[in-house]
Structure 1
Amino acid sequence: MAIDDLLDEHEQGERVRTWLRDNAAGLIGGLALGLLLIWGWRWWQAQRVQQSMQAGTQYQALIDTLQSGKLAQAQAQVEALPAGTYDTLAALALAEAQLAAGQRDAAIATLRAAKPDGAETAAIVEQRLARLLIDAGKAKEALALLPGDSRDPETLQVRGDAFSALGQKPQAQAAYSQALTGLEVGSPQRNVIELKLSEVGGAPAQPEARS
């Protein structure tokens, strides 16, 4: 190997060592930050798993309390649950037990206080709360609670119930008819809505004849 080549390699090595000395702190800091981020992510994931397991245990304890008929204790357990899926399920279960015990106003208060963490659970809470409000003679509040642009058959059915309770038959007919468009022929829910539609003076659309 030529002397010039050896000098070039030595010079390149010196440059690398100089660069490493100048940037050592940054490299070590970046590595430490990366390790810290990985540790933080794993810790956060572990915390979420632990919290979910704890909430599941609390939810099961609530169900056991409801089965024993201790509604006041169950309400305290619901309030102690962290916000999330179990919290919403617990509120729905408590409201159902309160309604079965003749405590409709308490069930309404329970559902009003619920904090659903997803669109599906939010819709279920809204529908059940709206039904209770209609039963309590507060159909206008029920209508305000339910989205007017919804295409969900269950939501539309409840809106139809609210309009019917208010004596607004044309609006009830429209809501029931729209609900039917999202249901299969012969489904139990469809039969119920068709009956409600008939009660407000409407008639289900006849299926188109097949050629």
Structure 2
Amino acid sequence: MAAYESEQEQIETLVKWWKENGTAVVAGFLIGLGLLIAWRWWQIYTTQQAQLASVTYDQVLYALEKGEPEKARQAVQMLLSKHSNSPYAVLAVLNLARQDLKQGDIEASHARLEWVIEQNHSVPELTHVARLRKAKLFLAQHKIAEAKKLLANVTTQPDFAAAYAELKGDIAVAEKQIEVARQAYTQALASEDLAPKYRDWLQLKLDDLGSGKADKIESQTPLSALATPSTAQTETQLTVPAETIANPDTTHVNELTIPVSPSQSSSLPSEEASTEGVSTESAPTQ
């Protein structure tokens, strides 16, 4: 009888607790379920948006390959209007900046590169690529002060250390500061994992300074800002995981392939994707 009374007391206690807390438990369960459903929906949505951005970016590359810059610009505008936060939009703008340069529109190229720099994008490699290109354009235009200002107070990643050091050396040569240029080229050569051709190119620049032939380092023309060894495309590719493009929980491998710049051959995305898929072209590759 005592045991029965004990069980009855337990039941009454449970019923009382449920009356006091049941509503909160049900509400918590429903809220949790709603959040889970919303999160799964967001995952699906962001993945779909990344796929749409990828398709549009392919249209940009195809139009440029076929020599149809106007169609490429239309596709880029679509990317910027619907997927401006996507790495594909940044890559597309970099491609378009190169196209503008080929057509002799240096100011348009400057404007597109500036847009990339101002994005503070989640793929910092692309920001570095844009900054280096813009500084090279300034140097090609003999706008030394603007080039130096663009490189001031920049926190460089190891993969870009050689490219920045080389460019600072080129600026020093333009200013006839031979000792500063020598130090910059030496710093660039000290970077690890330089491609053999790129290392030879840097060594040639340094040797020219040592023999008093600084003038042999020719002034860059605007187009060469995309075609010098310091920005040469290598076969090295950087894959940006799908989660960078879509969302943090995406586990399937939708990868963004970004071919690279020479001093960055260990990990940089070629802006142009190839940045011929964003490809950055150039002289000797790193």
- Same topology, TM > 0.5: yes
Asked whether the 8 Å contact 1:184–1:190 carries over to 2, the reply is no
Paired residues, what number?
201
- Quote the Cα distance in structure 2 between the aligned partners of 1:110 and 1:72: 16
Q: Which amino acid aligns with 1:102?
A: G
1:169 counterpart (159, 171, 178): 178
Q: Which amino acid aligns with 1:98?
A: D
Asked whether the 8 Å contact 1:183–1:190 carries over to 2, the reply is no
Cα distance change on mapping 1:119 and 1:184 into 2, 3 Å: closer
1:22 counterpart (20, 29, 43): 20
1:123 counterpart (125, 128, 133): 128
Q: Which amino acid aligns with 2:172?
A: F
Query: Structure 1, residues 109-129: CA drift from partner, whole Å, max 9, x if none?
Result: 211112343222211111112
Partner of 2:277: none
Deviation of the 1:143 alpha carbon: 2.1
Q: Which amino acid aligns with 1:63?
A: L
Deviation of the 1:80 alpha carbon: 3.0
TM-score of the superposed pair, with normalisation by structure 2: 0.64
Matches within 5 A, 1:19-168: 19-81=17-79, 82-114=84-116, 115=119, 116-146=121-151, 147=153, 150=156, 152-168=161-177
Cα distance change on mapping 1:19 and 1:201 into 2, 3 Å: same
- Quote the Cα distance in structure 2 between the aligned partners of 1:37 and 1:29: 12
Asked whether the 8 Å contact 1:130–1:145 carries over to 2, the reply is yes
- Quote the Cα distance in structure 2 between the aligned partners of 1:88 and 1:148: 20
Deviation of the 1:167 alpha carbon: 2.4
1:189 counterpart (191, 198, 210): 198
Deviation of the 1:52 alpha carbon: 0.3
Cα distance change on mapping 1:194 and 1:78 into 2, 3 Å: same
Cα distance change on mapping 1:184 and 1:17 into 2, 3 Å: closer
Query: Structure 1, residues 26-60: CA drift from partner, whole Å, max 9, x if none?
Result: 01110011001101111111111011001101101
Q: Which amino acid aligns with 2:23?
A: A
2:189 counterpart of 1:180: yes
- Quote the Cα distance in structure 2 between the aligned partners of 1:183 and 1:100: 32
Asked whether the 8 Å contact 1:159–1:172 carries over to 2, the reply is yes
Normalized per residue, the structure richer in helix is: 1
Which structure has the bigger radius of gyration? 1
**Higher RCO (CA < 8 A, seq sep 6+):** 2
Structure 2 unaligned segments of length 5 or more: list them.
Answer: 213-286
Residues 68-77 or 35-44, more deviating = 68-77
Asked whether the 8 Å contact 1:75–1:94 carries over to 2, the reply is yes
Cα distance change on mapping 1:47 and 1:103 into 2, 3 Å: same
SS class of match (1:167): coil
Q: Which amino acid aligns with 1:59?
A: Y
Cα distance change on mapping 1:17 and 1:40 into 2, 3 Å: same
Identity rate, percent: 29
Cα distance change on mapping 1:148 and 1:60 into 2, 3 Å: closer
Cα distance change on mapping 1:148 and 1:161 into 2, 3 Å: farther
Structure 1 segments of 4+ aligned residues over 6 angstroms from their partners: none
- Quote the Cα distance in structure 1 between the aligned partners of 2:162 and 2:110: 22
Cα RMSD over matched residues? 2.2
Structure 1 unaligned segments of length 5 or more: list them.
Answer: 204-211
Q: Which amino acid aligns with 2:147?
A: A
Cα distance change on mapping 1:186 and 1:119 into 2, 3 Å: closer
Partner of 2:254: none
